[in-house]
Amino acid sequence: MNATLQPMVRISGACKTFHAGTINEVRPMRGIDLEIAEGSFVIVLGGNGSGKSTLLNAIAGSFLLDAGRIELDGRDVTAWPEYRRASLIGRVFQNPFSGTAPTMTIAENFSLAAKRGLMRGLGWAPSRRLRDELRERVFELKMGLEDRMDTAIGSLSGGQRQALTLLMATWLRPRLLLLDEHTAALDPKSADQVIALTDRIVTRERLTTLMVTHSMQQAVNLGDRIVMMHKGQVLHDFSATQKRRLRVDDLLACFEDIRRRELLDESAAEMLQGQYV
Amino acid sequence: MTLLIGALTLGAILALLALGVYISFRIFAIADITVDGSLTFGAAVTGILLVKYGVNPLLATGAGFVAGMLAGTVSGILQTRFRINPLLAGILVMTALYSVNLHVMGRSNIPFLGAVTLSSYCERIGHHLFGAAAIDLAGWEVSATDLTVLLLMGLLVGLTALALWAFFRTDLGTAMRASGDNPQMVEALGGNVQRYRVFGLALSNGLVGLAGSLWAQYQNFADAQMGIGMVVWGLASVIIGEALTAAPSIGYAIAGAIIGSVLFRQLVAIALSFGLNPNDLKLVTAAFVFVALVLPDFLAKYGARANRRPA
Ligand SMILES: Nc1ncnc2c1ncn2[C@@H]1O[C@H](COP(=O)(O)OP(=O)(O)OP(=O)(O)O)[C@@H](O)[C@H]1O
Ligand SMILES: [Mg+2]
């Protein structure tokens, strides 16, 4: 679109090392640069341990970077704690248990979501108005939950919980929506339902979205850009035009390529070791 | 009858302790030993204000609440800002408070003789209300003062419970409850979990300090030892309450903690009157809480085994 438009997300030189200086040292972020335009729906792919979740956690503020900078909506949030960044970010986790407070009712959970990033005062929760609006929006899910507003959310199925968590994350329009394999723990039918809902909400609200997935099908069908990660770096970046031509096979070939390169790395390392040790 | 009224009154006063323990133990899932120190702290601060400075009893009682909140705040900050294990943080604050309490009181025990306390208020109100020093209650002679104290404590506990119930249903209170349930989610929704925890512990220990303040005025002295083991007492009350109400809703839980406290105090009074050595009281209380904590698991395991046995 407009090149002068400020990106919604700008990450530059982001580095993170966990357990530095121990044998457990891992470096899931090795100088990541990434810009995401407003309204863009980015799919993040990559093998296990390539740093996808870490990238999302870094943006959300679950930990602070060792080096580098994160800007959200033009604001430098690098030093902001997680709860403060929540005013700009909506999140759905992989684990259906992570996104909701299990012993509290559906209505109470949404009363929390309705105050994301706002001052929480002594107003009644959930308010009458929220209840009415909630009934309407939960009815749209077609899961038959609209009459169960006062049921503990922990008694619902994983699919129902993820759908509700998605609705909660987007109840107040977030500047950025982070989805980390939010359908990975679901059975295929529930996963399809939640993906359809994701597509509907993201498209309707034109949300800037970052979605991690292991499903090539989802990667090809959804979104307008694919970022492929490997060993804490962005390896490939397919734009909307490239992505339109992309098929599942192309992506699989990409992965195969990564795998071969890794084998090469290892054998090269072995060879070097053989020579020098 | 006097015995019954006494037990009811103490049960009501200690219901405030039970409510405090409910907040830390059930909402934030912390066994907060600060309680042992903050109960005495509330009593000590109220006591010294009444005896040495002749402060208005209502103010002195409020000061007991504030003292407890202070203790809870320190415990909360140790747990959050300094990342100290909650159990250890509680032990540290409790231990430190032991010295603080001795300093506040100047010695290990201060009698309230002659000081104007809430009990003296009750005496006057009792006279007003009933027009005599003693009245006839279903054939029993009851001191008007004792009855007034009981009524007033009942009223106070009722109001406190109502206020707590309402608070935990506001936006702030709901977020605090959720932060015990799923802190990750609360952070993701913009709640400052650490601040909620500090505030929760302050509120919890404030109630405990208030209980200590009222208890001291009821028994007419404050003592450096009076808080020992009281967290276990609170736990016992909360567990009894849960067994009785068995509902996860906050209203039932609050009511349960109060009923549990009153009931537990009755049980203790009965046991004592049947010859239980007062020295064994803490042992029995601890054993009771132990059994109540392991019994559900034990029953589940035993039940499962019994079910698996071929018919
Ligand atoms: N908070 C943390 N503390 C320590 N190590 C971490 C932490 N977060 C991530 N890691 C490590 O960083 C590496 C990258 O993990 P990450 O979860 O980002 O991978 P991923 O790409 O999401 O993988 P997957 O597809 O399995 O979800 C892993 O080795 C992981 O153990
Ligand atoms: Mg992951």
CATH number at residue A31: 3.40.50.300
Is B170 in the A-facing interface, judged by CB distances under 8 Å?
A: yes
Q: Can you tell me the mean pLDDT for A2-17?
A: 85
Task: Please state, for a pLDDT cut of 70, what percent of chain A lies above it.
Answer: 93
Q: Can you tell me the mean pLDDT for A114-138?
A: 93
Whether B186 has a pLDDT exceeding 90, the answer reads yes
This complex has an ipTM of 0.88
Instruction: Collect all residues of chain B within an 8 Å Cβ-Cβ radius of residue A124.
Output: 169-171
Q: CA B276, CA B264: separation in Å to the nearest integer?
A: 15
Q: Is B269 within a domain? A: no
**B184 CA → ligand 1 middle, Å:** 17
Q: Is B276 within a domain? A: no
Is B29 exposed, middle or buried, given 0-12, 13-18 or 19+ CB atoms closer than 10 A?
exposed
Q: Is B267 within a domain? A: no
Confidence of residue A6 (pLDDT cuts 50, 70, 90): confident
Q: E-strand spans in chain A?
A: 9-18, 26-36, 41-46, 67-72, 75-76, 89-92, 176-180, 209-212, 225-230, 233-238
Within this chain, do residues A82 and A130 fall inside the same structural domain, yes or no?
Answer: no
pLDDT at position B123: 87
Q: Can you tell me the mean pLDDT for B62-76?
A: 98
Q: CA B23, CA B205: separation in Å to the nearest integer?
A: 9
Q: Can you tell me the mean pLDDT for A203-220?
A: 93
Please, are residues B190 and A115 in contact by the beta-carbon 8 Å criterion?
yes
Q: How far is CA A228 from CA A256, A261, B130, in A?
A: 13, 15, 82
**B145 CA → ligand 1 middle, Å:** 67
Q: How far is CA A82 from CA A74, A88, A118, B190, B247, in A?
A: 17, 10, 14, 7, 33
DSSP-derived secondary structure letter, A9: E
Instruction: Collect all residues of chain A within an 8 Å Cβ-Cβ radius of residue B188.
Output: 60, 82, 86, 89, 91, 93, 99
Q: CA A231, CA A265: separation in Å to the nearest integer?
A: 12
Q: Which residue has the higher pLDDT, B247 or B163?
A: B163
Confidence of residue B308 (pLDDT cuts 50, 70, 90): low
Q: Is B310 within a domain? A: no
Q: Is A272 within a domain? A: no
Cis? peptide before A174, omega within 30° of 0? no
Whether B311 has a pLDDT exceeding 50, the answer reads no
In ligand 1, the atom with minimum distance to the C-alpha of A19 is 4
Within this chain, do residues A122 and A162 fall inside the same structural domain, yes or no?
Answer: yes
Q: Hey, are the CB atoms on B184 and A122 less than 8 Å from each other?
A: no
pLDDT at position A257: 79
Within this chain, do residues A17 and A79 fall inside the same structural domain, yes or no?
Answer: yes
Partnered with residue A238 across adjacent β-strands are A226
pLDDT one-digit tens code per residue, A38-56: 999 999 999 889 999 999 9
Within the 174-233 window of chain A, which residues sit less than 8 Å (CB to CB) from chain B? none
Q: Can you tell me the mean pLDDT for B173-185?
A: 95
Q: Hey, are the CB atoms on B182 and A102 less than 8 Å from each other?
A: yes
Q: Can you tell me the mean pLDDT for B33-39?
A: 97
For chain B, what is the mean pLDDT?
Answer: 92
Please, are residues B87 and B33 in contact by the beta-carbon 8 Å criterion?
yes
Partnered with residue A76 across adjacent β-strands are A71
Confidence of residue A265 (pLDDT cuts 50, 70, 90): low
Domain range for B124 is 2-227
Q: What is the SS3 string spanning chain B?
A: CHHHHHHHHHHHHHHHHHHHHHHHHHHCCCCCCHHHHHHHHHHHHHHHHHHCCCCCHHHHHHHHHHHHHHHHHHHHHHHHCCCCCHHHHHHHHHHHHHHHHHHHHCCCEEECCCCCCHHHHHHHHHHHHHCCCEEEECCEEEEHHHHHHHHHHHHHHHHHHHHHHHHCCEHHHHHHHHHHHCHHHHHHCCCCHHHHHHHHHHHHHHHHHHHHHHHHHHHCEEECCCCCCHHHHHHHHHHHHHHHHCCCCHHHHHHHHHHHHHHHHHHHHHHHHCCCCHHHHHHHHHHHHHHHHHHHHHHHHHHHHHHHCCC
Q: Can you tell me the mean pLDDT for B287-311?
A: 76
pLDDT at position A266: 64
Within this chain, do residues A17 and A83 fall inside the same structural domain, yes or no?
Answer: yes
Q: What is the SS3 string spanning A200-220?
A: HHHHHHCCCEEEECCCHHHHH
- Is the pTM of the predicted complex or chain greater than 0.80? yes
DSSP-derived secondary structure letter, A6: P
In ligand 1, the atom with minimum distance to the C-alpha of A27 is 12
Whether B124 has a pLDDT exceeding 90, the answer reads no
pLDDT one-digit tens code per residue, A145-178: 989 999 999 999 999 999 999 999 999 999 999 9
Instruction: Collect all residues of chain B within an 8 Å Cβ-Cβ radius of residue A72.
Output: none
pLDDT at position A274: 60
pLDDT at position B294: 86
Name, in order, each residue with C-beta under 8 angstroms of B51's C-beta and a sequence gap of 6 or more: B110, B111, B112, B115
In ligand 1, the atom with minimum distance to the C-alpha of A47 is 25
Which value, to the nearest 10 degrees, does the dihedral of the CA atoms of residues A88, A240, A7, A66 take?
70
Please, are residues B71 and B28 in contact by the beta-carbon 8 Å criterion?
no
Q: Is B290 within a domain? A: no
Ligand 1, atom 29, lies closest to the CA of A49
Within this chain, do residues A9 and A126 fall inside the same structural domain, yes or no?
Answer: no
Rg of chain A over CA atoms, in angstroms?
Answer: 20
pLDDT at position A253: 81
Task: Pick the closest to residue B43 from B217, B171, B180, B174 (CA basis).
Answer: B217
Task: Pick the closest to residue B225 from B15, B13, B44, B11 (CA basis).
Answer: B44
Q: CA B309, CA B304: separation in Å to the nearest integer?
A: 9
Confidence of residue A271 (pLDDT cuts 50, 70, 90): low
Is B184 in the A-facing interface, judged by CB distances under 8 Å?
A: yes
Within this chain, do residues A73 and A27 fall inside the same structural domain, yes or no?
Answer: yes
Q: Can you tell me the mean pLDDT for A234-256?
A: 81
Domain range for A9 is 1-88+175-185+207-244
Q: Hey, are the CB atoms on A111 and B174 less than 8 Å from each other?
A: yes
Q: Can you tell me the mean pLDDT for B258-277?
A: 92
Is A98 in the B-facing interface, judged by CB distances under 8 Å?
A: yes
pLDDT at position B192: 96
Q: Can you tell me the mean pLDDT for A25-45?
A: 95
Is B169 in the A-facing interface, judged by CB distances under 8 Å?
A: yes
pLDDT at position A213: 94
Whether A118 has a pLDDT exceeding 90, the answer reads yes
Three-state DSSP class for A258? helix
Q: CA A35, CA A71: separation in Å to the nearest integer?
A: 9
Ligand 1, atom 17, lies closest to the CA of A53
Instruction: Collect all residues of chain A within an 8 Å Cβ-Cβ radius of residue B171.
Output: 111, 115, 120-125
Within this chain, do residues A56 and A114 fall inside the same structural domain, yes or no?
Answer: no
**A163 CA → ligand 2 middle, Å:** 19
Ligand that lies nearest to the alpha carbon of residue A214, given by its number in the listed order: 1
In ligand 1, the atom with minimum distance to the C-alpha of A46 is 21
Nearest to A104 among B167, B178, B193 (CB): B178
Confidence of residue A275 (pLDDT cuts 50, 70, 90): low
Q: How far is CA A123 from CA A78, A105, A130, in A?
A: 32, 17, 12
Domain count, chain B: 1
Pairing of strands A41-46, A225-230: parallel
Q: Can you tell me the mean pLDDT for A224-228?
A: 93
Q: CA B22, CA B245: separation in Å to the nearest integer?
A: 14
Listed range (A16-30, A107-121, A250-264, B236-250) with the worst mean pLDDT: A250-264
Q: CA A191, CA B294: separation in Å to the nearest integer?
A: 39
Please, are residues B260 and B21 in contact by the beta-carbon 8 Å criterion?
no
Please, are residues B244 and B259 in contact by the beta-carbon 8 Å criterion?
yes
**A180 CA → ligand 2 middle, Å:** 7
Domain count, chain A: 2
Within this chain, do residues A32 and A169 fall inside the same structural domain, yes or no?
Answer: no
Tokens 């929390």 belong to A112
Please, are residues B224 and B115 in contact by the beta-carbon 8 Å criterion?
no
For chain A, what is the mean pLDDT?
Answer: 90
Whether A269 has a pLDDT exceeding 80, the answer reads no
Q: Which residue has the higher pLDDT, B212 or B3?
A: B212
The CB of A53 under 6 Å from ligand 1? The reply is yes
Q: Can you tell me the mean pLDDT for B204-222?
A: 97
Name, in order, each residue with C-beta under 8 angstroms of A87's C-beta and a sequence gap of 6 or more: A116, A117, A118, B190
